Structure 1
Amino acid sequence: MHTRTEGSTWTGSGLRFSGFGHYFPRELRSHQGEVTLGGRTYPPGAADELGVRSLHVAAEDETVEYMAVRAARAALEDAGHAAEDTDLVVLANWTDRQWIPEIAPGVATALGAHGALAFDVCGACTGFVHGVQIAASMLTAHPGWRRAVVVAADRFSHRARPGTRGQLVFGDAAGAVVLEKGDPGDGSALLDSVLDCDSTQADTVAARPPEGWLRPRPELIDLAVGSSLRVAGDVLERNGLKTSDLDWLVPHPGNNAIHAGVRDGLDLPREKFLTNFATRGNTGCASIPIALSEYLRTGVLHRGDLVLSTAVGSGWYFGGLLYRL
């Protein structure tokens, strides 16, 4: 593994997030009281211990493409742009991958972004970070390109082995951002991004055929905490920042133990650690963009806030984004 020490990646590039959107499936499953799932009954309080009071579960017709289209439309509407003005559509997804075609072209077609280059990325739960970093690179490399839609969609509930506590934690959702380059005017900016890989830990979390159930190893929590702290430390250091300079840490959530380890390791006040894990569960690569979209709409987050988002995922990938909303 290596540590990056060069300056920030996107400062001064003119890249910024101009719109945010999300989609939550119709079914909201509450974990109040006794809960029976997959032939197993969980006593009252079991979900509280895990930190998830409720989550969304997608119906059969709420496919990854279906959810992604609705999140992307919301992001474009929030940005005030028409779909046909989109140059690039990047879809992050790991729960429903298929041979061919990739899912993103269908998303672009449904949006009306017919001239956009569209493709999928994976990266497990780091998929949103991966997608933003790729989109930023391509917008910078193509002088004529101005706007990308990055959407992350997972049906994580499909990857929970029936009868395991994953059914109380894994939820479904899609979140999207519009990333564009130009004169931000309002101070919004994508400042930095990083995505690294420790391939020796690739099997710490796995989901393989035929069932595709998620199978984490016991060392997952320690690895996730350590990787998240490494990302945060590297990004803050190379941007000349301290934890106290951040308005928010909006991470990909894992579980209560991971959250506590990250907060303690960064000496971060609890009120600056922001996820919707308690009400939406772990939604895979969609976790960061749905939190940004939801909390901007409810007034918890504000334009101009300085945010760091960290994520870890099977591979073993670890990365983050630094940005001003």
Structure 2
Amino acid sequence: MRTRTEGRTWTGSGLKFAGLGHYFPRHQRRHDTEVTISGRTYGPEAAAELGVRSLHVADEDETLEFMAVRAAEAALANAGREAGEADLVILANWTDRQWIPEIAPGVAHQLGADKALAFDVCGACTGFVHGVQTAASMLSAHPGWQRAVVVAADRFTRRARPGTRGQLVFGDAAGAVVLEKGDPDDPSGLLDSVLDCDSTEADTVAARPPEGFLRPKPELIDLAVRSSLRVADNVLSRNELKTSDIDWLVPHPGNNAIHAGVRDGLDLDPAKFLTNFATRGNTGCASIPIALSEFTESGVLNSGDLVLSTAVGSGWYYGGLLYRL
């Protein structure tokens, strides 16, 4: 695998996650009993093997824009900010992309952030990393800008091919952060980010018209593990850290096999591997921000914790964020 860039360090920039928010669709489907999806019946043993006890399925009125707005509102409230204070709104999404307009301007308008520059990014399941790195770059480049709302939302259930076990893994959700400039001497905040692309592996996972159902190749798991480990090693070495120095690894969760490969490859204490995969499933680009929001709200994550987040996605993209809450 080739690494094209060395990423960008944000230490001393004053950039930090000032607010976190999430939205889970109303319907949470449980897998602890027999469940029938698209005409196929799965017993609880199938879900147990896959590691997903439940996940959320968006109703028709819970559009991608609807979910994104709710997550962004929650993040702004958590930050104690009004939508009109946002200079930038970035929406990461891959499951509901359209020709025009981009979805982000509609999200910004519903929020009341009508003066913000709003646009979409993709990057598949690395979308949140892509959005945060883009926001950090733009905030740093514009002296008058102070904050960005970065939203990641996917309705992954719509990309599961009927009759496959992906229907027991893919869930719907939206997560958001408020990234804003603060005191450069504050030890908390965004410390580093990296996002790279290996185009030779671009077709490892695809979802193409007309149905848009996910089509992974058998080598996906090995590639995802190798890519995640490369990101982690890169970010940790750049910052002169060891795996034992981080408080938490909050990755984009793919499946149990990928999780095991990453934990073993990093020699990570399993107690430091933090996802909500078991109760929310694989929620695409929303997976990292919903975990940050949910686990901060519940008190698992705390101010001062040093967190590494890694993600991989079709393209083939692999990236990560290092930050102190």
TM-score with structure 2 setting the length: 0.98
1:267 matched to 2:296: no
CA distance in 1, matches of 2:171, 2:187: 34
Task: Give the equivalent residue in structure 2 for 1:173.
Answer: 173
CA contact (8 A) 2:231 2:310 kept: yes
Amino acid at match of 1:228: S
Paired residues of 2:21 and 2:289 also in contact (CA < 8 A)? yes
Partners of 2:107 and 2:261 lie apart in 1 by: 37
Alignment check: 8 A CA contact 1:194 1:319 kept: yes
Find out whether 1:2 has 2:3 as its counterpart: yes
Residue in 1 aligned with 2:160? 160
User: Percent sequence identity over matched residues?
Assistant: 81
Q: How far apart, CA to CA, are the structure 2 residues paired with 1:284 and 1:44?
A: 23
Paired residue type of 2:3: H
Q: CA deviation at 1:41?
A: 1.1
- Secondary structure of the 1:319 match is strand
Equivalent runs, 1:83-122 vs 2, <5 Å = 83-122=83-122
Q: How far apart are residue 183 of structure 1 and its match?
A: 1.0
Tell me if structure 1 keeps the 8 A contact 2:205–2:217.
yes
Q: 1:202 to 1:3 in 2, by over 3 A?
A: closer
* CA–CA distance in structure 1, aligned partners of residues 227 and 166 of structure 2: 22
In structure 2, what residue type is equivalent to 1:143?
P
- Indicate the SS of the match to 2:307: strand
Going from structure 1 to structure 2, the CA distance change for 1:5 and 1:157 (only over 3 Å counts) comes to: closer
Give the Cα separation in 1 of the matches to 2:4 and 2:94. 26
Residue matched to 1:250? 250
Q: Does the Cα contact within 8 Å between 1:3 and 1:234 map onto a contact in 2?
A: no
The Cα of 1:143 is off from its aligned counterpart by 0.4
The equivalent of 1:126 in structure 2 is 126
| Paired residues of 2:14 and 2:185 also in contact (CA < 8 A) | no
SS in structure 1 of the partner of residue 203 of structure 2? helix
Does 1:43 pair with 2:73? no
Q: What RMSD over aligned residues (CA atoms) do the two structures have, in Å?
A: 1.1
Label 1:194 to 1:240 Cα distance change in 2 as closer, same or farther (>3 A).
Answer: same
**What secondary structure does 1:134 align onto?**
helix
Q: Per-residue deviation at 1:9? A: 1.2
> What CA distance in whole angstroms lies between the structure 1 residues aligned with 2:182 and 2:254?
35
Work out whether residues 4 and 197 of structure 2, in 8 Å CA contact, stay in contact via their aligned partners in 1. no
Contact kept, 8 Å, 2:13 with 2:184, in 1: the verdict is: no
- 84-93 or 28-37: bigger deviation: 28-37
1:14 and 1:175, CA in 2 relative to 1: closer, same or farther beyond 3 A? same
Question: C-alpha distance in 2, partners of 1:185/1:240?
Answer: 19
Structure 1 stretch 183-192 or stretch 154-163: which is displaced more? 183-192
Conserved in 1, the CA contact under 8 Å of 2:12 and 2:184?
no
Give runs of aligned pairs for residues 128-207 of structure 1, distance below 5 A.
128-183=128-183, 187-207=187-207
- In structure 2, the CA distance between the partners of 1:225 and 1:206, relative to structure 1 (3 Å rule), is same
User: Which amino acid is 1:225 matched to?
Assistant: V
1:24 aligns with 2:21: no
**Contact 1:90/1:119 (<8 A) preserved:** yes
Deviation for aligned residue 1:39: 1.1
Letter in 1 for 2:262: V
Query: What is the rounded CA distance, in whole Å, between the counterparts of 1:184 and 1:169 in structure 2?
Result: 41
Structure 2 residue ranges without an equivalent (≥5): none
Structure 1 unaligned runs (5+)?
none
Q: Does the CA contact (< 8 Å) of 1:16 and 1:184 recur in 2?
A: no
Residue 70 of structure 1 pairs with residue 70 of structure 2: yes
Q: Which moved more, 1:182-191 or 1:77-86?
A: 182-191
Give the SS at the match of 2:9.
Answer: coil
CA distance, structure 1, for counterparts of residue 263 and residue 164 of structure 2: 27
Provide the rounded CA distance (Å) in 1 between the counterparts of 2:4 and 2:13. 23
Distance across 2 between alignment mates of 1:5 and 1:284: 25
Distance 1:184 1:165 in 2: 47
TM-score (norm 1): 0.98
- 8 Å CA contact retained: 1:4, 1:234: no
